[in-house]
Amino acid sequence: MESCEEVVIVGGGIAGLATAVALKRVGVQSLVLERSQELRATGGALTLFPNAWRALEVIGVANKLVSLYTTFNKEHVTNLMTGDYQEISFTHDGLRDGLGVRAVHRKVLLEALAEELPSDAVRFSSKLESIKDEIIDGSSISTLRFEDGSTIRAKVVIGCDGVHSVVAQWLGLTTPVRSGRSAVRAIAVFPDGHGFERDIQQFVDDGKRAGIVPINDKELFWFMTHTSLPPEIEMVSDPESIQNLIIDNLAKGFPPEYINVVRHTDPTTLSWAPLMFRYPWDLLIGQTWRGCVTVAGDAMHPMTPDLGQGGCTALEDAVVLARHIASSSRSSSDGFEKAIEDYVKERRVRVAGIIAGSYLSGWVQQGGIGWWGGVVGRFVRDHIFYRFVFKRLVKVSEFDCGRLTCGEC
């Protein structure tokens, strides 16, 4: 007989695991269903800003990570076309508060989250295929069908199943769109030390933006976002071919230290994908919840990575959702429905704004797309953006998503 769970979370990435941990903190048990056979950490590393660290502190995970990773003070941005140089400080105003800005290994973050859960709270090799909703004894129940033919019933379903979310599709949210840009990213390893300061280096060029982000003394995260190439080129998946394409083509003319970092890539961490986002207005007017089903993380708000906020806002989602569920009357499906509605109402304006800010930031930093876009984009980037706009956009990362106030907290 199929089991009936109170809360099912689809997807065991940052959003799914953080949501399960946040719910556990308020005394709500959940089951995470993940399609992979183990925790999946595509992309190697990510930068977490103060908003993410606040959320991690609230769910009791930050302390495990802060001793492993130190903070950044600055970002250095070099315009390779004009030679202009700008310095962005991470030690001003709200960015100085809390736990700062740090890059972490994705795998370490996922493991730190998963360790907080009982061993049977995450079920692997469980790929959701479809959802059916029905009313049983006056309560709304969802039946989830998986690729292997099994089914699970749940009172509450939280789709944390990433950009191509089955749950978002079922809700009726529009399919995320391509931004016209793609990103390559990986970790580079220097067994004898890389010798870089603990600052972020960024290089902007015509249609490209690249960066080097130290993780520790021996490892660096590097990335390049660029105007998308024809699909037959971007379908290459062999890490060595991608690395050669960067060195010989996309990063031609880049500083030798960037090329050297790319040469030290750990091939198992390399990924290359088009950058997708959801139109912000779809979150404002679209169906982000139905009954006791909703979405969080990239499933709700896929965004381009230009403000480094996708993972950070997924962690915020987890805390906000758990707070609303904790304060609801969970004895009836009406209580859960109200909690989910309140969660969506609290989140959608913020995340819609961040999607728009990220897109704008990426478009401008990369110097626009197309001929006219290029002229306008480069002018804005070189004369206005870093001086006046970027610091304001980065303020989104000073956000405090609040506390959890019951259960184990």
Stretch that binds ligand FAD, among 11-19, 130-138, 234-242, 279-287 (CB under 6 A): 11-19
Contact 266, 187 (CB under 8 A): yes
Q: Does 314 bind ligand FAD (CB under 6 A)?
A: yes
- Amino acid letter, residue 269: T
Q: Which of 297, 357, 368, 377 binds ligand FAD (CB under 6 A)?
A: 297
Q: Which of 21, 31, 33, 326 binds ligand FAD (CB under 6 A)?
A: 33
Which residue number, 242 or 328, has a Cβ lying nearer to ligand FAD? 242
Which residue number, 228 or 309, has a Cβ lying nearer to ligand FAD? 309
Q: Which of 8, 20, 46, 318 binds ligand FAD (CB under 6 A)?
A: 46
Burial 374-402 (b: 16+ CB within 10 A, else e): beebbebbbeebbeebbeebbebbbbebe
Contact 293, 170 (CB under 8 A): yes
Which residue number, 5 or 382, has a Cβ lying nearer to ligand FAD? 5
Q: How far is the CB of 126 from ligand FAD (least distance, A)?
A: 6
Q: Does 79 bind ligand FAD (CB under 6 A)?
A: no
Contact 188, 239 (CB under 8 A): no
The residues facing 219 across adjacent strands are 189
Q: Does 10 bind ligand FAD (CB under 6 A)?
A: yes
Q: Which of 40, 74, 96, 330 binds ligand FAD (CB under 6 A)?
A: 40
Q: Does 186 bind ligand FAD (CB under 6 A)?
A: no
The DSSP element (H or E) to which 239 belongs, if any, is: helix 239-245
Alpha-carbon separation of residue 237 from 44, 128, 168, 268, 273 (angstroms): 16, 25, 27, 11, 10
Which residue number, 104 or 382, has a Cβ lying nearer to ligand FAD? 104
Q: Which of 219, 298, 316, 337 binds ligand FAD (CB under 6 A)?
A: 298
Note the helical H segments in 6-128. Answer: 14-25, 50-58, 62-66, 93-96, 106-114
Alpha-carbon separation of residue 282 from 91, 279, 317 (angstroms): 35, 5, 17
Q: Which of 128, 171, 242, 293 binds ligand FAD (CB under 6 A)?
A: 128
**Between residue 155 and residue 184, which ones bind ligand FAD under the rule CB under 6 A?**
160-162, 166, 183
Contact 205, 253 (CB under 8 A): yes
Which residue number, 270 or 326, has a Cβ lying nearer to ligand FAD? 270
Stretch that binds ligand FAD, among 93-101, 192-200, 291-299, 357-365 (CB under 6 A): 291-299
Residues 6+ apart with CB under 8 A from 332: 139
Backbone conformation region of residue 258, classed left if phi is above 0, alpha if psi is from -120 to 50, else beta: alpha
Which residue number, 363 or 382, has a Cβ lying nearer to ligand FAD? 363
**Between residue 221 and residue 260, which ones bind ligand FAD under the rule CB under 6 A?**
223
φ/ψ of residue 370, rounded to 5: 85, 175
Q: Which of 7, 8, 12, 179 binds ligand FAD (CB under 6 A)?
A: 12
The residues facing 151 across adjacent strands are 145
Q: How far is the CB of 221 from ligand FAD (least distance, A)?
A: 8
Q: How far is the CB of 19 from ligand FAD (least distance, A)?
A: 9
Q: Does 293 bind ligand FAD (CB under 6 A)?
A: no
Q: How far is the CB of 367 from ligand FAD (least distance, A)?
A: 18
Burial 34-51 (b: 16+ CB within 10 A, else e): bbeeebbbebbbbbbbbb
| Number of residues forming the site for ligand FAD (CB under 6 A) | 35
Per CB under 6 A, residues contacting ligand FAD are 10-16, 33-36, 40, 43, 46-47, 126-128, 160-162, 166, 183, 185, 223, 297-299, 305, 308-312, 314
